[in-house]
Structure 1
Amino acid sequence: MIKTLLVDNEHLVRSGLRMILDTAEDIEVVGEASDGAEALRLAGDLAPDVVLLDIRMPGMDGLTAAGELTASPRAPRVVLLTTFDLDDYVHRALRAGAVGFLLKDTPPRDLIAAVRTVYEGNAMLAPSITKRMLEHFAAPASEGAAVAAKRLEVLSERERAVLLTIARGMSNAEAGRALHISEATVKAHVSRILDKLGTTNRVQAAILAHDAGWV
């Protein structure tokens, strides 16, 4: 079972998310929190696999909580709940270790698929949403671009190709088809890329590629 914690200051939002996730046989909502501080307490007690975390909350907001959660010894996979046009802090949260974000009007089927996706170790890099977010925020100054490009020099030609597919929002399966290699080979390349770059997840690697001007 995928143990999931819901964090949102609006009871109706949490109830809606729970109702959707309860329809999935492999997902269990183990708790609900109304702010970041409560989320940290519950995460420590319940050890969730995935945390769906709103950004804008009174008290400790989602951005602060995301950093705390991803730095914890038993770090869950953190996915931010956001409204695209309003939440200007998403990019910072992704850099802090969150694995992606969902719009609050995400269709039920996609919400369930998202929880499964991050639990399996993948990031939320849907081309229709995340790519727009990355492009919106990743408009680096030339100095930042140069630093990012320097970090990427450690990658082999094949690893660069794989990273480019990640930055474009492709799943491992899609990347495999595009590069004519197996999904297992893509996963192996992704692991080496994260290790070489010192990043903790695919989203951070993708942001680095955007900062370098690859996409």
Structure 2
Amino acid sequence: VVINNHTTVGSWSGGVELNGMWYRDGCATYTEDAWMSDWVMMAERYRDMGYHQVIGYDLRNEVRPTTMTGPGPRWGERERGAGKGACCQRSEDVRDWSRAARLCTQALLKADAPGFVVVERIAWPQNSLQDMLLPLPPWEAWGVPRDRIVLAVHMYAWSGPGSWSPKHFLPGILKSFFNAVDYVSGRELYGEMSQEVLEQQMDKDFGFCLDQDICPVWLSELGADLSRGELG
């Protein structure tokens, strides 16, 4: 059993809405500190009850923007003049997922929580896990054992690398508009790729972690497009 912190409020989750972050903006009740305290409480509960079936803790489901116009989550602090993916991972930005995941992981390990900690990539945009590994992989940057961290990704036919297209959920003219935008930008969603291209993209997104024995990767959610009567 892997416990997952899926939503902050009991509602549909997946788009740009208030469940996108591990805390709720403007809410005095569900703060980042409350999120971490809840995690420690859950880990201690199953540890003390001797439930060895609980083997991991997925810190937060699909971290993503909560608004179309405001700042979204990010991974680490970009160094001035550094290339893509070069982060110091010691930012104090409240919206830095690397910082929050580090603090929560350290709190769980300090509480002698058994098992491993699952850290998902930021959902929108869906970048390669390479962004989470530079300049240092999380376990080195955070000072935690390598075998306690698992990186996780979600893949659906209607999502794609580098960004997210809502066209799968849109009718008529709007869907045609996003099809045109994707065509001009040369962007393909996972479900639009040929098998060969999809395999190459999966290797680029996360497969290299396994090929190079960098870290385990958990494909914790995946789905195909059945609307066309075929697997996407």
Bin of the TM-score, shorter chain as denominator length: 0.3 to 0.5
- TM-score w.r.t. the length of structure 2 is 0.32
Larger radius of gyration: 2
- TM-score w.r.t. the length of structure 1 is 0.34
Q: Report the structure, 1 or 2, having the larger helix content.
A: 1
